[in-house]
Structure 1
Amino acid sequence: MRDFRLLWAARLIATFGTGLLVVAIPAHVYAVTGSVLATGLTLVAEYLPVLLLGPFAGVLADRWDRRRLMFATDIAHAMVISLVFFARTPDTVWLVYLAVLGEGAAAVLFRPAAQAHTPAIVGTGPLLTSANALNAFTTGVIGLGAAPLGGLLFAVVGIDTVIGVGLVSYLVSALAIAFTRPRPRDRDFSRRVLPDLKEGLGYIRQAPATRALLVTSGVYLLANAALTSLLVPFGVTQLGGSTQVGYLLSALSIGFLLGAPISHRIVDRLPVKTTVAAAQGLVAGAFVLMFNASSMPVTLIAAALAGIPGVTVLIALQTWLQRTTPEALLGRVGAVFLTAEAAATMVGAFVGPTLGELIGLPPALNAACMITLLASALTFWLVPNPAEDRLSDDRAELTTQSTDERLAQ
């Protein structure tokens, strides 16, 4: 499908541009300031827009033409990162923070629109699962190579080249989106934002499976963020150094890539409750093996095994939301999950190192693994059985009808 190929290419190119900056921008800040604190603030600036703007991004995705919104955010991406060109001294490093804040704001506006636009292009049948699996696969490939490449480019040719490549990638992404076909949508700009937010949250309250998955995915992501924050100390103290950390991250990424095509076959055959809970449980088991293995090869194999069900969780959850959420609410519901993801990640990134300081590294790692396993148990317990999901579907249909009636007025 032509439109999906263009959208996929746009996301691929923009993700590559963003990936180049993951290492290069903090490295630039450290080179300019020599401050670890100043460098760490770039991560705060990256997550802050998600927490503040996440729900509002969903309202915009449901009100506005999603194609135009994605185009505009790509242009905004290109404009804000160009500010880094002018950050050359400690006195001007605030421009980097402003650029990262702007980049984060543009990204949080783009994601709900792209997730909601995908089923409008490919439908909600098997092609949707294939589309999500392809997006996950390509995101994994980019994640495996873009960040190290950005760091290498920074070291060899400097920050200007990295920013220049990123800027071009956003402009090319915007061009690809511009070539997709317009898909007019009825929208009412006279309504206030808060009622729209309440409507999205009201749908989640009325949909038992969606509400449960929001809770359990939050617990799961918190545990994963805690584990991720402890990977570097684990690699240095238990595996032998930073080189081993690189091997570990590569093994996780390889598992992520292998899991994308496998997930495509699983998601369409099993209920979301079974798929997500089982995958979360397998991730917990693989992490326990990884952090308690007695040899490096076993650790790397366990890391790859963790990546396979890890991507299955993401694809199953996203596909289920796209299929069951009313089209008129899809942006808002997706944005709520995006905001919860950012909040859980920030809490987990704080909890992991704190536990490591209080009880030691090995107990902290195993505690985070048990929280991952708890997420699996909660999914089995809280998510309704497939037969009970029909109630959620009926309520979603009623919500869609009432929303359409209001938009028609």
Structure 2
Amino acid sequence: MGDRFSQVAVLALLLELTGSGLAVGILMGMRVLPYLILSPVAGKFADIWDRRKMMMVTDIARVPFAFSFLFVQSQDDLWILYSSMFVLACGEAIYQPVRKSSIGVLVEEQHYAKVNGFEQVVIGIVLIIGSITGGLVAFLIGKDVAFILNGCTFMAAASLIYPLKFKRQKSQQSPAIPVQKPRAKLDPMVLFIVVILGVSAGLDGLFNILISYYGAETFNLGELGIGLLYGALGIGLVMSFFISKQVKGKMLLIGIITIGMEGVLQMLASQASVIWAAALAFTGISLFGGVGAACFDTLVMARTPKSDQGRVFGFIESLTNVVIGLAMFGSGWLLDSFAARQVGFIGGIAAIGSMVLFIVLYSFYFHKIIENSRKMVKKYEKRSIKHTEE
């Protein structure tokens, strides 16, 4: 929630001082280098080091940089904003793969889908409380309060992580379910999901910049508009839990379809005449996005040995966030040359096209892999039952 408080205030402050979409793109794109270098390393060390200590140290180290935004008063102080955002991005690049791999280690396999769906609820609540409240606080009271609250939440998060206990995973551990190849990096479905997540990340980078631009510039509501649209995303994520928990099969296909549905709603959001219509479209976008994210995360966890999940999620975090950063930078450049509504409409078409391409690949290749994997699972279950009866 603190991150959301700060993000809304920082984006509004930057647009207030520069009025440039490119400046926002540069700021959001600064995550490229930290995620490219630090996430794979952090994910690898998460498999052998104490995850709890890694997350706590990363949280506490970010506190002074979160407070540093208080000193940004003019364009001459923008170096503080950019440098602190870079350091915070470094901390996030370390923290995220450690946190994501912790879910697979702490949770039993049969609860993966439920927990990944519930995580979307938590993210949604964070967006609702953090973005809407943060937007109101920054709009009515001042941006400084949002920056102070952000620094305090890092310390609060570290205190919540402290009681967690992790069992160290053995380096050679059987996969969560029987698969054709023992290591996730060789599993074709995991590789396919990584490609899908990479493409989705590019679209997400574009749409993240557009949300800020829609709220602050298109509807002329500043930080309040940004907060409202991010809050709408949160509502959709909370709603997604009630759908994702009902998904029992065909997770890969369902995840692919959600990308196209997001594209349709992005096209509608780009043409909205009032902010409430845009907020409704973004609610639907995050609803489908939350269902898709839960499906993809569950599949990756189920087909990856627990002892390798830090490495795998480190790679995924690195790839997706690098793509998001590059997409944000490119989107900022586009917004200085084209209208936000035009960029959003074209982005929606790109999402639909991506869905069609992935469905074709699924139909001609990965559908067979899934069926073979199901046959292996059923065969394994029959053997287990027969062994038990004997």
Aligned in 2, Cα 1:153/1:250: closer, same or farther, shift over 3 Å? closer
Q: What is residue 325 of structure 1 aligned with on the other side?
A: 304
Q: What is residue 338 of structure 1 aligned with on the other side?
A: 317
Counterpart CA distance in 1 for 2:335 and 2:144 is: 38
Instruction: Give the count of matched residue pairs.
Output: 360
Task: Answer yes or no: is the 8 Å Cα contact 2:198–2:323 preserved in 1.
Answer: yes
Counterpart CA distance in 2 for 1:346 and 1:354 is: 13
Q: What is residue 309 of structure 1 aligned with on the other side?
A: 288
Q: What is residue 354 of structure 2 aligned with on the other side?
A: 375
Task: Answer yes or no: is the 8 Å Cα contact 2:104–2:309 preserved in 1.
Answer: no
Q: What is residue 200 of structure 2 aligned with on the other side?
A: 220
1:187-235 Cα offsets, whole Å, 9 max, x none, are: 7xxxxxxxxxxxxxx9565221111122222222323333443456667
Task: Answer yes or no: is the 8 Å Cα contact 2:185–2:312 preserved in 1.
Answer: no
Task: Answer yes or no: is the 8 Å Cα contact 1:219–1:371 preserved in 2.
Answer: no
Q: What is residue 388 of structure 1 aligned with on the other side?
A: 369
1:312-342 Cα offsets, whole Å, 9 max, x none, are: 1111111211121122221121122212222
Does structure 1 residue 65 correspond to structure 2 residue 50? Answer: yes
Counterpart CA distance in 1 for 2:212 and 2:138 is: 22
Q: What is residue 186 of structure 2 aligned with on the other side?
A: 206
Counterpart CA distance in 2 for 1:118 and 1:27 is: 34
Q: Determine what percentage of the aligned residue pairs are the same residue.
A: 19
Q: CA deviation at 1:74?
A: 1.7
Q: What is residue 124 of structure 1 aligned with on the other side?
A: 109
Q: CA deviation at 1:381?
A: 3.0
Residue segments in structure 1 that go unaligned for 5+ positions in a row: 1-15, 188-201, 394-409
Q: Which deviates more from structure 2 when the two are superposed, residues 157-166 or residues 109-118?
A: 157-166
Counterpart CA distance in 2 for 1:35 and 1:288 is: 28
Task: Answer yes or no: is the 8 Å Cα contact 2:257–2:355 preserved in 1.
Answer: yes
Q: Helix, strand or coil: the match of 2:165? A: coil
Counterpart CA distance in 2 for 1:108 and 1:21 is: 17
Task: Answer yes or no: is the 8 Å Cα contact 2:219–2:274 preserved in 1.
Answer: no
Q: CA deviation at 1:276?
A: 0.9
Q: CA deviation at 1:356?
A: 6.3
Counterpart CA distance in 2 for 1:364 and 1:90 is: 27
Q: CA deviation at 1:45?
A: 3.9
Q: What is residue 398 of structure 1 aligned with on the other side?
A: none
Counterpart CA distance in 2 for 1:252 and 1:89 is: 31
Counterpart CA distance in 2 for 1:332 and 1:101 is: 23
Q: CA deviation at 1:112?
A: 1.0
Q: Helix, strand or coil: the match of 2:109? A: coil
Q: Structure 1 length as normaliser, TM-score?
A: 0.73
Counterpart CA distance in 2 for 1:308 and 1:100 is: 29
Counterpart CA distance in 2 for 1:85 and 1:356 is: 28
Q: What is residue 236 of structure 2 aligned with on the other side?
A: 255
Does structure 1 residue 134 correspond to structure 2 residue 113? Answer: no
Counterpart CA distance in 2 for 1:246 and 1:151 is: 5
Q: Helix, strand or coil: the match of 1:63? A: coil
Task: Answer yes or no: is the 8 Å Cα contact 1:226–1:349 preserved in 2.
Answer: yes
Q: CA deviation at 1:22?
A: 0.8
1:358-400 Cα offsets, whole Å, 9 max, x none, are: 776655433222211122123323345455148789xxxxxxx
Counterpart CA distance in 2 for 1:85 and 1:301 is: 33
1:18-77 Cα offsets, whole Å, 9 max, x none, are: 22211334556678xx44579645434455422332222222222312122112212222
Task: Answer yes or no: is the 8 Å Cα contact 1:276–1:376 preserved in 2.
Answer: no
Counterpart CA distance in 1 for 2:75 and 2:8 is: 19
Q: What is residue 87 of structure 2 aligned with on the other side?
A: 102
Counterpart CA distance in 2 for 1:24 and 1:233 is: 13
Counterpart CA distance in 1 for 2:219 and 2:19 is: 23
Q: What is residue 245 of structure 2 aligned with on the other side?
A: 264
Aligned in 2, Cα 1:361/1:26: closer, same or farther, shift over 3 Å? closer
Q: Which deviates more from structure 2 when the two are superposed, residues 355-364 or residues 319-328?
A: 355-364
Aligned in 2, Cα 1:247/1:17: closer, same or farther, shift over 3 Å? closer
Q: What is residue 379 of structure 2 aligned with on the other side?
A: none
Q: Helix, strand or coil: the match of 1:64? A: coil
Q: What is residue 18 of structure 1 aligned with on the other side?
A: 3
The equivalent position to 1:276 in structure 2, one of 255, 261, 267, is 255
The equivalent position to 1:50 in structure 2, one of 28, 31, 35, is 35
Q: What is residue 8 of structure 1 aligned with on the other side?
A: none
Aligned in 2, Cα 1:385/1:185: closer, same or farther, shift over 3 Å? closer
**Per residue, is there more helix in 1 or in 2?**
1
Q: What is residue 176 of structure 1 aligned with on the other side?
A: 160
Counterpart CA distance in 2 for 1:203 and 1:215 is: 17
Q: Structure 2 length as normaliser, TM-score?
A: 0.76
Higher relative contact order at CA 8 Å, sep ≥6: structure 1 or structure 2? 2
Task: Answer yes or no: is the 8 Å Cα contact 1:212–1:382 preserved in 2.
Answer: no
Task: Answer yes or no: is the 8 Å Cα contact 2:129–2:231 preserved in 1.
Answer: no
Task: Answer yes or no: is the 8 Å Cα contact 1:216–1:376 preserved in 2.
Answer: no
Q: What is residue 382 of structure 2 aligned with on the other side?
A: none
Q: Partner amino acid for 1:316?
A: C
Q: Which deviates more from structure 2 when the two are superposed, residues 240-249 or residues 103-112?
A: 240-249
Residue segments in structure 2 that go unaligned for 5+ positions in a row: 172-181, 375-390
Q: Partner amino acid for 1:115?
A: K
Q: What is residue 165 of structure 1 aligned with on the other side?
A: 149
Q: CA deviation at 1:100?
A: 2.2
